[in-house]
């Protein structure tokens, strides 16, 4: 009788331990944040516009990792934080997760215009400026692009997540047969921020620009809508997503590679 009781006790222990292990085993998530070139509208091709974040999951083994695209069109590195969007993402981040970011397209706007008030101070320094924000109708301290990007990274790392920065994809702007790049502005500042914080860097601007130039200016037109030189079509977003994956693979030390198909 005693042996039977001990056996039942052992079975219960094994079952409970297995339940606890399954319950608490964390399936990592890759959180993607950025502007409309990462996710346009609801992320399903609204108006023929697509962001590259929609196509990233096709490269991953989704039985091992979740992909969540939390980018929002119209945001800058500043407004993604001041509007509370980052806080909503951060509260979900757990140890072992990944946060990938791409900002810069909207950071060059005015700091305090009545339409958006989304700009950041150029560079990666500690400069700041107090402004009256006509959108929120409050005083606000505005920082540099690098300051906001560092906050994303440091917040993510504090939660035990791995951070990856992408330089902003190029616009459909050309000069003398070559794509105009941002390697002296937001692309450069993104890389410098990655170096300073230990985040992984994906030079998306260079990789995509190289692809455009290889195909030529005429072919590159199919990657953008006729409405502007920034937002991509489905074909353009797929090209950009492919470059993102190539950038991940190029970072051999990044464990995100282990979840690729």
Residue 24 lies in a domain: no
Name the maximum alpha-carbon separation found in the chain. 90
Q: Contact at 8 Å (CB) between 51 and 71?
A: yes
pLDDT of residue 3: 56
Residue 10 lies in a domain: no
pLDDT of residue 22: 36
Q: What predicted TM-score, i.e. pTM, was given to this entire model?
A: 0.89
Residue 235 lies in a domain: yes
pLDDT for residue 137 is more than 80: yes
Residue 160 lies in a domain: yes
pLDDT for residue 48 is more than 90: no
Residue 8 lies in a domain: no
pLDDT of residue 17: 43
Q: Which of 9-23, 165-179, 224-238 has the lowest mean pLDDT?
A: 9-23
pLDDT classification of 227: cutoffs 50, 70, 90:
confident
Mean pLDDT of 12-34: 64
Residue 140 lies in a domain: yes
Mean pLDDT of 6-24: 44
Residue 12 lies in a domain: no
pLDDT of residue 47: 83
pLDDT classification of 4: cutoffs 50, 70, 90:
low
Structural domain harbouring 220: 40-259
Residue 16 lies in a domain: no
What is the per-residue pLDDT across 139-151, written as a single tens digit (0 to 9) for each? 999 999 999 999 9
Mean pLDDT of 162-178: 97
pLDDT for residue 8 is more than 80: no
Higher pLDDT, 251 or 45: 251
pLDDT classification of 260: cutoffs 50, 70, 90:
very high
Q: What is the CATH number of the domain that holds 103?
A: 3.40.50.1110
Domain count for the chain: 1
């Amino acid at each position: 009788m005693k042996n039977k009781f001990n056996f039942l006790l052992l079975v219960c222990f094994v079952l409970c331990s297995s339940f606890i292990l399954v319950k608490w085993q964390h399936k990592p998530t890759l959180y993607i944040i950025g502007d409309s070139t990462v996710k346009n509208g609801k992320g399903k091709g609204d108006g023929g516009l697509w962001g590259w974040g929609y196509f990233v999951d096709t490269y991953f083994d989704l039985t091992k990792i979740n992909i969540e695209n939390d980018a929002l069109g119209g945001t800058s590195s500043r407004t993604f934080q001041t509007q509370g969007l980052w806080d909503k993402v951060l509260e979900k981040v757990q140890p072992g997760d990944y946060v990938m970011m791409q900002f810069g397209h909207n950071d060059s706007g005015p700091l305090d215009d009545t339409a958006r008030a989304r700009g950041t101070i150029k560079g990666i320094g500690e400069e700041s400026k107090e402004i009256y924000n006509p959108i929120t109708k409050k005083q606000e301290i505005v920082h540099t692009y690098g300051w906001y990007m560092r906050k994303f990274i440091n917040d993510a790392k504090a939660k035990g997540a791995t951070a990856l920065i992408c330089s902003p994809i190029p616009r459909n702007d050309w000069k003398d047969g070559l794509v105009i790049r941002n390697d002296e502005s937001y692309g450069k500042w993104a890389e410098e921020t990655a170096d300073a914080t230990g985040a992984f860097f994906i030079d998306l601007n260079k990789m995509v620009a190289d692809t455009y130039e290889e195909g030529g200016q005429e072919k590159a037109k199919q990657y953008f809508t006729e409405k502007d030189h920034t937002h991509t079509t489905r074909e353009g977003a797929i090209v950009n997503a492919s470059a993102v994956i190539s950038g991940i693979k190029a970072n051999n030390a990044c464990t995100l590679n282990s979840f690729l198909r």
